[in-house]
Amino acid sequence: MGVEMKKKMISLLVCIIVISAVLFGCSGPGSSTSKTNETAGSNETKDTDTISKTSSGEVFAATPEQLALLPEEMIGTENEFEGLKIGFSQRNIAGSEWWEQLVRLAKEEAKYLGIELTVYDAGNDLTKQLADIETIVNLKPDAIIINPYHSTGVLPAVKKVHEANIPLTVVNCALDAEGSPFTFVSCDVENSGYQSGYQLAKDYDEKYGWQDEVQALVLSAAAQEEESDLRRWGQLAGFNDYMLEKYGKSNLDIVAYRYYNWQPEPAMNETLDALQSNPDIDIIFCACDGGAQGVVAALDSVGKSGDILMTSIDARKTVLEWIKNGDKGVVATVANDPRMMGKWAVYMAALQSGGITTPSTFYVPNQCYTKDNVDEVYDSNSQY
């Protein structure tokens, strides 16, 4: 075969491969033949029906109308999955308003759809969560939802879920890709962190201008937890990017780095301890609004409320009110609504139980709220 003919054959082969990839998608560490490898969420919608018919079966794609639903509005139609049974292993509930709201909306969505949802609370105990998941598997539900206490620690139990051929949905906290296939329902938390950190840099710069050093306390939620890590990476990247874009250099000096396990009281204690060693802290990065509540309590107790600027993630009513009033130093929070995740996790699990292909990753909207737009979302009557 001549050289020119070989070149033509290679070009034809490349074209075939590219067309195949476009039509059928690519397999990745978070997907399998029973899942698509696409991400659906606030910044990617499809002008298609809720469920699209394809040669391989039914494929779910959220409509713009579904993504625009308010947190307390239900998805789907009433009694759409009547008689279905779903088991839900939740990493913890007590002491966290965020997790309470996630579970509450999961239950409400299940009731609306006619699903029997059984929730198991692991109480932040990996051993108990492993046992809970095994218990659920033995009950042979139509689908299982897990909010993992540890991204790799739960893998032995996840393996049993797959061995039992039960569809798996993971919500909020990431599961290691080794646990595939599953659908992961969450926010794009690294992007949320980025928006949060960028806004903190912007507000600090607008208030003080360039300073050779900005001393920071970084409050990361949990050690060696991917969800916590992604938020932190995003926040620090966002702050540094703002400074680099404007000044060509960054002035961020991290003088203290602490964990608070997603809870307000540990966040308060860690903040007070950090301030004793570093009384000149200028800014605080907080991984979630529960932590922000602890930080504000700490700053109130030492008379520094409003003096130290802070950013967070979650968009809880309390933190939105602080942004609105402008008296606590909180400059931004990014929506990471547990109610959205709870109801979408149940809906995704229900779809999977019927053999419908769901995305490997599904992101709920993550709007950044500041003094400029907080009035658009703040609701004094909200439960969250």
* Local confidence band at 383 (pLDDT 50, 70, 90 cut-offs): confident
Answer whether residue 221 is part of any domain.
Answer: yes
Kindly give, in sequence order, each residue whose CB lies less than 8 Å from that of residue 191, ignoring residues fewer than 6 positions away.
Answer: 234, 366
> 358 and 321 share a domain?
no
What pLDDT sits at residue 96?
A: 82
The end-to-end CA distance of the chain, in Å, is 70
Peptide bond before residue 266 is cis, with ω within 30 degrees of 0: no
> 244 and 119 share a domain?
no
> 263 and 216 share a domain?
yes
> 206 and 317 share a domain?
yes
Is there a contact between 147 and 157 (Cβ–Cβ < 8 Å)? no
> 195 and 161 share a domain?
no
* Local confidence band at 382 (pLDDT 50, 70, 90 cut-offs): confident
- The residue behind tokens 């739960």 is 154
Calculate what percentage of the chain has a pLDDT beyond 90: 76
> 176 and 259 share a domain?
no
Q: What is the pLDDT of residues 65-119, one digit of tens each?
A: 999 898 999 999 999 999 999 999 999 998 888 899 999 999 999 999 999 999 9
> 149 and 172 share a domain?
yes
> 158 and 262 share a domain?
no
Among positive and negative, which fits the CA dihedral 220, 125, 189, 160? positive
Residue of 21 and 40 predicted with greater confidence = 40
| Helix locations, the chain, DSSP H | 3-24, 64-67, 97-113, 126-139, 155-163, 189-208, 226-247, 264-277, 289-301, 317-325, 338-353
Q: What is the pLDDT of residues 155-176, one digit of tens each?
A: 999 999 999 999 999 999 889 9
> 202 and 146 share a domain?
no
What pLDDT sits at residue 57?
A: 63
Q: What is the pLDDT of residues 186-218, one digit of tens each?
A: 999 999 999 999 999 999 999 999 999 999 999
Among positive and negative, which fits the CA dihedral 36, 40, 45, 50? positive
Residue of 43 and 68 predicted with greater confidence = 68
What pLDDT sits at residue 97?
A: 83
What pLDDT sits at residue 145?
A: 98
DSSP code of residue 364? P
- The residue behind tokens 């700053």 is 299
Cα(106)–Cα(11) distance, rounded to whole angstroms? 51
Q: Which amino acid is at 285?
A: F
* CATH number of domain containing 300: 3.40.50.2300
* Local confidence band at 325 (pLDDT 50, 70, 90 cut-offs): very high
> 326 and 218 share a domain?
yes
Answer whether residue 68 is part of any domain.
Answer: yes
Q: List, in sequence order, every residue forming a beta bridge with 121; answer none if it has no partner.
A: 90
Q: What is the pLDDT of residues 234-267, one digit of tens each?
A: 999 999 999 999 999 999 999 999 999 989 999 9
Regarding pTM above 0.75, the answer is no
Structurally, how many domains does the chain consist of? 2
**Residue 136 domain boundaries:** 28-187+338-366
Calculate what percentage of the chain has a pLDDT beyond 70: 85
> 32 and 181 share a domain?
yes
What pLDDT sits at residue 174?
A: 86
Answer whether residue 48 is part of any domain.
Answer: yes
Least confident range from 216-230, 244-258, 347-361: namely: 216-230
Answer whether residue 23 is part of any domain.
Answer: no
Checking if the pLDDT of 48 tops 90, the result is no
What pLDDT sits at residue 265?
A: 95
> 244 and 167 share a domain?
no
CA dihedral 362, 363, 365, 367 (to 10 degrees): -170
Give the DSSP H or E segment for 217. strand 214-220
Q: Which of 293, 315, 335 is the last residue before a domain boundary? A: 335
Q: Which amino acid is at 122?
A: A
Q: What is the pLDDT of residues 257-303, one digit of tens each?
A: 999 998 999 999 999 999 999 999 999 999 999 999 999 999 999 99
Burial grade of 278 (CB within 10 A; 0-12, 13-18, 19 or more): middle
Cα(214)–Cα(296) distance, rounded to whole angstroms? 20
Q: Which amino acid is at 13?
A: L
- 76 φ, ψ to 5°? 80, -160
Is there a contact between 296 and 323 (Cβ–Cβ < 8 Å)? no
Burial grade of 197 (CB within 10 A; 0-12, 13-18, 19 or more): buried
Answer whether residue 299 is part of any domain.
Answer: yes
Answer whether residue 7 is part of any domain.
Answer: no
Cα(345)–Cα(281) distance, rounded to whole angstroms? 39
